[in-house]
A and B are shown apart, each in its own frame.
Chain A
């Protein structure tokens, strides 16, 4: 009996550690599914009817026993999928119409690309401030300024949607390692901001999280997005 005791203790310790890590992750995910609305949206002074969705930037890595590896092709694919799904959820659940950004060709193409890139950078610059105190979106603290009008988005757009995300996919070895030793499981965390197309105010911020392989969890991704936009008032169908 004395032979088995250390093994029993070891197993128990590893089990407790794994459960603690997983529950920490799950509970933190629950709390970060919160969504924050600008007072203008909450009081329904502003309604989001038409939006322009900016190209999503989702970056995932493969975590193996030999460290993280890039997944550039999969990240691109996932970015497109997330962008489409956000469009779908907004239109089906909230009856929000998605407009395509104004396209220009030839010589203006480079300028257009720069314009989109600078616009995305501007949002990336504001994102750490938002993440630091997400609840301040409810106080109307964050704005990108009226520079949003420079960005050549469709004129009838009420708002612009920015999507960011990061995630981790685990290899078989790393999954087994996590089960034995503990560690962060596979996940995808999104950060979605909806910005007023006229004055740059951040109207909504949500950061849904889903546990599991980010490249295959399509249904769970949809559910996470639906939860993420739950508080956004739907446009009355006319």
Chain B
């Protein structure tokens, strides 16, 4: 009897793993499912969801994450922006909807990377980077509607439950594989236990993509119910697809469907609702109102973008602000964006937007600091040319900002930094002095005081 025992155990283990991997979630099944039509059912007002211990633990972690984001200074404390988000969010929630252990909170997160996420406790975060990138309130509503669906349909809990089962299956398979006997049976078991984790992994990501798809489509339904232009959901996807910084890398496994795929299925879904397509004039009006409400947040985001080296995004976003309102402060921000862009090209070339080029650029970012990247680019004729053009453009914009109505003192600071880089020590020191004189309580006063001393010493 004994010689058969390990084999029986192994086979029993494999059966257990297979039992935990329902075939409907296998990647192949996913592909077939994607073509199936999705019915437009509004979120149910009374849900069937029952909380288990695992869900309650996840809920507790979410509450703690809320506190952490607040404590670490990552939540934007701009009451106007948060109130705006709250109003848009509340207008999307179906009237009378009561969800257990959900308390809706809508907040802007200080992060220049375009992103949004929902926690299962009802906290919805939209980054300043995404709020600056989009054009109007309908697009903001599209983002929030997508995230609201994740909360309403309890996606995070469902995915957590599903992932736990799959992780357990993978671990059991690893154990079975490690103790596989020699011989043909052993070889078969080894092959199966080596391949199976990849399939399980594919089902994990497949399930995630399925939930994202549902959030996109239900989001459209919610937008229509709240009388927002539903086609703006596609507008958001198109904006995200722009990939100004060349960072949307396609990996072997992806938890979101590809953006072009999302645009395709949303267009198909929306095709039946063509009567809802909003007139361009109406959207333009909405855009102006959105920019008025978000101007302060957008400027804040420009600073964050420059801080983390997202210079191309800064130029693109500052130009949009200028197109909307060319006041002294916005001119200053465009000047800052061009000055810090330095020797880089304002837009990535098509050869830099291939997946392999993006991957190698990401590796380069780990190897080189921002200063080293600039130094290397300045050693090339294109880099030198870009640098000269951008410095000229920046100087012109700083001067325009200083000659505009209500000039901002920071424009002197920016001009000083530009002159310092150009080796015009005297002009730089003069500009810094003007800045300190006009903004005596600036937090960076000490930094520029030191620079003035150093520049005056070198003359």
Contacts and interface: CB of A to CB of B under 8 A. Distances in A.
Interface stretch (A43-51, A145-153, A215-223): A145-153
B446 interface: yes
Given A3-B2, A14-B179, A67 B61 contact: no
A182 B182 contact: no
B110 A117 contact: yes
B165 A66 contact: yes
A149 B447 contact: yes
Interface string B52-87: 000001100100110010001110010000000000
Contacts of A121: 307-308
Interface in A97-127: 110-111, 113-118, 120-122, 125-126
Contacts of B74: 117
B413 to A, nearest CB: 11
Interface in A55-98: 55, 65-67, 69-70, 72-73, 76
B96 to A, nearest CB: 33
30 contacts: A6-B3, A7-B6, A10-B179, A13-B178, A65-B168, A66-B168, A67-B167, A72-B65, A72-B68, A111-B443, A113-B73, A113-B77, A114-B110, A115-B73, A117-B74, A117-B110, A118-B307, A120-B72, A122-B307, A126-B369, A132-B367, A142-B369, A146-B450, A146-B451, A149-B446, A150-B444, A150-B447, A177-B171, A180-B178, A181-B178
A149 B369 contact: no
Closest 6 CB pairs of A and B: A113-B73, A67-B167, A117-B73, A72-B64, A149-B447, A66-B164
Interface in A1-39: 3, 6-7, 9-10, 13-14, 17
Contacts of A132: 366-367
B119 to A, nearest CB: 12
A7 B3 CA distance: 10
A57 to B, nearest CB: 8
B309 interface: yes
Interface of A: 3, 6-7, 9-10, 13-14, 17, 55, 65-67, 69-70, 72-73, 76, 110-111, 113-118, 120-122, 125-126, 128-129, 132-133, 141-143, 146-147, 149-150, 152, 177, 180-182
B178 A125 contact: no
A146 B64 CA distance: 34
Given A65-B171, A114-B73, A146 B181 contact: no
B contact residues, range: 35 or more
Contacts of B65: 70, 72
Interface centre among B2, B65, B369, B451 (most CB of A within 10 A): B369
Contacts of A125: 308-309
B26 interface: no
Nearest to B3: A3
Nearest to B180: A10
B366 A181 contact: no
A126 B372 CA distance: 12
B175 A180 contact: yes
Contacts of B2: 3
Given A72-B65, A114-B73, A129 B451 contact: no
Contacts of B365: 128
Contacts of A113: 72-73, 77
Given A3-B2, A73-B64, A146 B447 contact: yes
Interface in B65-115: 65, 68, 72-74, 77, 110
Contacts of B368: 129
A143 to B, nearest CB: 8
A151 B167 CA distance: 44
B175 A10 contact: no
B174 interface: yes
B163 interface: yes
Nearest to B309: A125
Contacts of A55: 72
A130 to B, nearest CB: 9
